[in-house]
Amino acid sequence: MEESTADLIRAQLRRLRTGAGLSQEEFGKLVHYSASMVSAVETGVRPLDRPFLSRADEVLNSGGLLVSLFKMMERERQPSWFRSWLDAEAAARQLRCFHPTLVPALLQTENYARAVIRCDDMLSDEEVEKRLASRMDRQAVLAQPEPPQLIALFDEVALHRRNESFRGLMTRQVEHLLACAERPNVSIHVIPLSVGLHVGLSGPFTLARSDDGGWVGTMESQLGGGVIDSEARLATLLARWETVRNEALPRQQSLDLLKEVVMSWT
């Protein structure tokens, strides 16, 4: 599947370029790449990459076609369980996200997300950027015309995991959280350090409710993740959600805490 999508992207690139009456050399000058680079991309000698295709979309006035196809190709690389979760996430009317140690993915800034992904030292720089782009793409669900309600919970410890080099990144991340919380469909709640131990420390999870009221969940671990769709396991996750939600501060108090944290850093 990935190969056929890659071939489709290259074919569309050639069609758009020739349709615009541009040689590889002329096109290369416009996108700031050499003619040999353009040829290598079109023939499959060089892998496709998002920056090149994004610039090509701009030059060829293609309405984002090439980048959209590239996103499709990247999605096809994902494990089957994660593709089914992406479908559920994109169609959800409500999302409940909980993480005991990190800011939930849908609310991460680009720099924060990159730092989190880079914690896996087995990933190449290229793979880090691919995963980062995928994560940022997912956040578009919150900007669609009828976005889902997002209720995000995380432990206060996530705000204190920093050092001097990380302080600026975290300041911008918390400012981003405060900006996101201004949206009517986003509610952010923090579990304060004073709570101590709680059941949520067992691990992160997310729940998505569809238009028909049905639920699906996902959990991740060191070795991957999976979609939760059995009635019994969903009932357990929904009960866990209620437990951790009850430990969290109300919305306004959570936002006040975020502001206090930023003030203490500056």
**pLDDT tens column, 34-82:** 999 899 999 988 888 888 999 999 999 999 999 888 888 877 777 677 7
Give the start-to-end residue ranges of the domains of the chain: 2-75, 79-265
Least confident of 4-18, 72-86, 118-132: 72-86
For residues 55 and 27, the answer to whether their CB atoms sit within 8 Å is no
Using N-to-C axis directions, what is the helix angle for 125-138 and 110-117, rounded to 10°?
Answer: 130
pLDDT of residue 2: 46
pLDDT at 241: 96
Q: Could you give the residue ranges of the DSSP H alpha helices within the chain?
A: 2-19, 24-31, 35-43, 50-60, 65-77, 80-91, 110-117, 125-138, 167-180, 231-247, 251-265
Each residue's pLDDT tens digit, 180-220? 999 999 999 999 999 988 888 889 999 999 999 999 999 98
Single out the residue of 103, 64, 91, 129 nearest to residue 188, CA to CA. 103
Long-range residue pairs from 110-114, CB within 8 A, at least 24 positions apart, any chain:
110/136, 111/169, 111/172, 111/173, 112/169, 112/170, 112/172, 112/173
Is residue 1 predicted with pLDDT exceeding 50? no
- Here the tokens at position 236 are 């357990």
First vs last Cα of the chain: how many Å apart? Answer: 50
Residue type, 39: S
Class for the domain spanning 2-75: mainly alpha
pLDDT > 90: percent of the chain: 62
Predicted structure pTM score: 0.78
Fold topology of 79-265:
Endonuclease; Chain A (3.30.870)
149 burial type by CB count under 10 A (0-12 exposed, 13-18 middle, 19+ buried): middle
